[in-house]
Amino acid sequence: MAETTKGHANRKANRYSERELAGIAGFTLFTASVLLAAFSPLLATVATNTPVMHGLTHGTMFAAMAGFYFVITRCKGRNELVSSNRVRTGFLALQLLLPGIVLLETVLAFALPLVLQFALWAVFGASGAYFSCVWADVRSSLGEERIRAANLWSFGLAGCIVAGVLAMPGPAAITAFLLLCASSFALLAASPPSTTELTSERDERWLAETSRYSPNGSYIMLVDGIMCGVIAGLVVARISKGVLPPITMGAAFVCVALIFLLLSRKAPRLLAMGRVQLVLLPFLVCGLILSGFLQAPWNTVAAPPLFVILYLLDYTNASVLSLRGTLLSISPCYCFARGRFFIVLGQALGWFAGAFVATDFGKGWLTVAAMVLIMLVCAYIVVATVRPDQYAIVAEEPEPVEAPPAPMSEPETDPEAVVEQHYKHKCAEATRAFNLTPREGEILFYLVKGRNARHIADQLYVAERTVKTHTYHIYQKMGIHSQQELIDIVEAQEAGDTT
C-alpha cells in the first residue's frame, strides 16, 4: 500500500502544471512561426518571390537577428528587458508588421517599396531574436530534463505545423501565420515566470573570471551557419518555383526531430557537439560535391537531405545552449544570445551568398562556391578534431591534466566504506578515460553518489557556481546531458583495471 501511494505521488510530481503546459504550447507555436519565416517562401510578395530576393530578404532577417544577439549580450539590463510585459507587447507589434503587410499586399494587390520591405524583414528578425531570448528565459523554470524534452517535442510538433501551414493557399497560410504569432504571445503570458534572479553584472563577472571567446568554436558555428543558409536558399528557391512541394521544409524539420530523438535514445554521446560534427561532416562533404557539381534535377534531389544534416547541427547547438544557462547558473537569455550569434551571422552570410549565386553573373561561380564550402568544411573537420570540446559561446582555459591520486589501499571492514572505495576506483577509471582534471574527478565522485551542487560545494569548500561550472564541463567531456547518464557511465567502468 505504501509503495502504491509513493508511486502515485511520484507520478503526480512528474506531471506538468497547467502553466508549464501553456509555456510548452506557446514555445511550439513560436518555433513554428520562426521556421516558417526563416525557411520558406511564405512571406514573399510579388516583388520578392525570386531566388535572388529570397536570399536578400532572408539574409536581412538573419543579419538583424545576429545584430540583436550582439547588442543584448552587451546590454546591462538584458534580464529586465526580456521579462518586461510592456517590451514584449511592443516587440509583438513589430513582429506582426511584416506578415500583416504581406497579407494586405496579397489581398489588395498593392506593392510596397522594396526599401520598406527590407526594413520590415529586419524588424521581424530583431523581434524574432528577442522572443527567442524570452523563451530561453521562460524555459529555465522547467528544470534540466523538462527543458530537453520540451525542446525536442516542441520542435517536432512545429515541423508538423510548418508542413500544414505551407499546404494552405497563400492568404490562408499568412493568416495562420499571424494566428501562430498572436497565440504564442498569449500563451507566453500564461507561462511560468522565469526563475532567473542573477544580474547582468554577475554574468559579465562570471565571463571575465572563468571564460573567454573561443576562436575555433566561433569559426565552426559560423561555417555551420553559412552552409545552412546556402542550402536553405537553394531549397526555398526550388519550392517557390514549384520544383519541390511546399511541405518539403516541414518534412525536413520532422526528420531532424526524429533523428535527434533516435540519437538521444540509442547513442546520446554522439549529441555532444564535437562528436556530432565529426560524424556528420563527412556526409556534408559528399552532399556539397553532389549539389555543387551535379546538374539539375540531381542537385535539387540532394539539397533536402543535405539541409537535414546541416540543421541537425544547428538544432543540437540551440538545444545545448538552452540548457547552458541553467547548468552554469547565469542568465539563460545571455547564454543563448551569445552562443547563437555566430551561427545566425553565418546563416545571414549564407543567404546573401545564395542570392549572389542566383544572379546571372553569380551562376558562373556556383562551382567555385561549392569548392570554397568544401574547403571550409575540411578546415572545420580539422578544427573540430583538434579542439572537439570548443563551443561558440565560451571556453574555459585548459588546466593541466594530472592523474588522480591513487585510492588508499587500507583494508575496510565497514560495508559502506567498501562500497565507497568501490566507487572511488570506478570514478578514478572514468577520470582517466574521459581526461578529467583532478578537481573534476573529485566532483564526479559526489555526482555519482547523487549529491547536488550545494552539498558538493559545502564538502569541497568552494562556491556553488564553481561546482556547476565544473559539472557542465564534465558533461561536455563525457558527451552526456544528465546526472543519471553520468551514473550509468561510471557504473559501466571496470573498477578492477585501476589496481
Nearest one of 415, 477, 414 to 444, comparing CA atoms:
477
Span of 53-67, 166-180, 456-470 with lowest mean pLDDT: 456-470
DSSP lists the bridge partners of residue 212 as 395
What is the biggest distance separating any 2 CA atoms in the chain, rounded to whole angstroms?
87
Residue 83 pLDDT greater than 80, yes or no: yes
Domain regions of the chain by residue span: 17-394, 415-498
**What CA–CA distance (Å, rounded) separates 424 from 407?**
7
Q: Which of 61-65, 269-273, 453-457 has the highest mean pLDDT?
A: 61-65
User: Out of 250-264, 313-327, 405-419, 457-471, which region has the weakest mean confidence (pLDDT)?
Assistant: 405-419
Residue 52's φ and ψ, nearest 5 degrees, are -65, -45
Q: Cis check for the bond before 297: say yes or no (omega within 30 of 0).
A: yes
Q: What is the band of 202 on the pLDDT scale with cuts at 50, 70, 90?
A: low
Phi-psi category of residue 267: left, alpha or beta, with phi > 0 → left and psi -120 to 50 → alpha: beta
Q: What's the residue count for the chain?
A: 499
Split at pLDDT 50, 70, 90, the class of 193 is low
Q: Using pLDDT thresholds of 50, 70 and 90, give the confidence band for residue 182.
A: very high
Listed residue (322, 69, 329, 81) closest to 195, CA to CA: 329
Q: At what angle do helices 438-448 and 453-460 cross, to 10 degrees?
A: 130
Q: What is the pLDDT of residue 243?
A: 85
Taking the whole predicted model, whether its pTM rises above 0.85 is answered as no
**Most confident listed range (194-203, 385-394, 480-489):** 480-489
Backbone angles phi, psi at 396, to 5 degrees: -75, 145
Residue 57 three-state SS: helix
Residues 316, 87: Cα–Cα separation, whole Å = 29
User: What distances in angstroms separate CA 245 from CA 46, 131, 363, 437, one per listed residue?
Assistant: 19, 30, 24, 52
- 3-class secondary structure, 112: coil
Q: First-to-last CA distance in the chain?
A: 46
Residue 213 scores a pLDDT above 60:
no
Predicted confidence at residue 30, as pLDDT, reads 93
Q: How far apart are CA 218 and CA 306, in angstroms?
A: 22
CATH match for 17-394 among 3.40.1690.10, 1.10.10.10, 1.20.1250.20, 3.40.630.30 = 1.20.1250.20
Q: Which three cell numbers stand for residue 233?
A: 536558399
Whether the CB-CB separation of 327 and 472 falls below 8 Å is answered with: yes
CA dihedral sign of residues 376, 381, 386, 392: positive
The answer to whether 187 touches 18, Cβ cutoff 8 Å, is no
| CATH architecture of the domain covering 415-498 | Orthogonal Bundle (1.10)
Query: Does the structure show a pLDDT above 80 at 21?
Result: yes
pLDDT tens-place string over residues 289-332: 665 565 666 667 777 888 888 788 778 777 766 655 555 556 77
For the cut 70, the answer to whether the pLDDT of residue 215 exceeds it is: no
| pLDDT above 60 for 169 | yes
Mean pLDDT of the chain: 76
∠ CA 336-341-343, nearest 5°, is 105
Percentage above 90 pLDDT, the chain: 21
The DSSP element (H or E) to which 212 belongs, if any, is: strand 211-212
479: cell is: 558527451
Backbone angles phi, psi at 309, to 5 degrees: -65, -45
- The residue among 439, 433, 438, 419 whose CA lies nearest residue 486 is 433
Q: Which residue has the higher pLDDT, 269 or 31?
A: 31
> Which pLDDT value is given to residue 10?
44
Any idea which residue has 553520468 for its cell? Answer: 486
Phi-psi region of 272 (alpha: psi -120 to 50; beta: other; left: phi over 0): beta
Backbone angles phi, psi at 211, to 5 degrees: -145, 175
Mean pLDDT of 360-378: 71
Instruction: Give CA–CA dist 23/186, Å, rounded.
Output: 10
Tell me the C-alpha to C-alpha distance, in Å, between residue 161 and each of 28, 148, 185, 234: 9, 20, 17, 22
- What CA–CA distances, in Å, run from 68 to 60, 74, 128, 227, 302? 12, 10, 9, 22, 33
pLDDT at 449: 81
- Residue with the larger pLDDT of the pair 118 and 388: 118
Q: Which residues pair with 211 in a beta bridge?
A: 396
Q: Could you report the per-residue pLDDT of 226-284, keeping only the tens digit for each?
A: 888 888 888 888 888 888 888 899 999 999 889 888 887 877 766 665 556 566 666 66
Q: Is the pLDDT of residue 177 over 90?
A: yes
- For residue 104, pLDDT over 50 is answered with yes
DSSP 241: T
pLDDT of residue 31: 92
**Is residue 178 over pLDDT 90?**
yes
Highest mean pLDDT among 12-21, 206-215, 385-394, 460-469: 460-469
For CA atoms 89, 322, 252, 125, give the dihedral sign. positive
